[in-house]
Amino acid sequence: MTGRVIWVFFVLSSIPIYIVIAIKVAKWFIKAVNKIRRAFVWKGRDKVNGGSCLVAWEKVQRPLDLGGLGILNLELMSWSLQLWWL
């Protein structure tokens, strides 16, 4: 699972961030990307069924020093990057 977390952190999180920097995205886009990232972390696939998630996604997105896995919260990153452009 460690390899999947690293893959999510460096690839599946960075690509949407570049999109968010360029354009304002809808909430459905962030939800769809989070769904893919969540499924990849837990099962290594693009879809996951109920009962496969071992920990709440909010806890997974916490920083390492707060007990999470350090995966970025795309909704907060989108919001902060939009404010950065003001």
Domain around 55:
2-84
Confidence (pLDDT) at 61: 85
Confidence (pLDDT) at 12: 73
Confidence (pLDDT) at 54: 78
Confidence (pLDDT) at 9: 67
Confidence (pLDDT) at 28: 93
pTM over 0.75: no
Q: Tally the domains of the chain.
A: 1
Angle subtended at Cα 76 by Cα 48 and Cα 63, rounded to the nearest 5 degrees:
75
Confidence (pLDDT) at 37: 85
Tens-binned pLDDT, residue by residue, of the chain (86 aa):
677 777 676 777 777 877 887 788 888 988 888 888 888 887 777 677 766 677 888 888 888 899 888 888 888 888 888 787 76
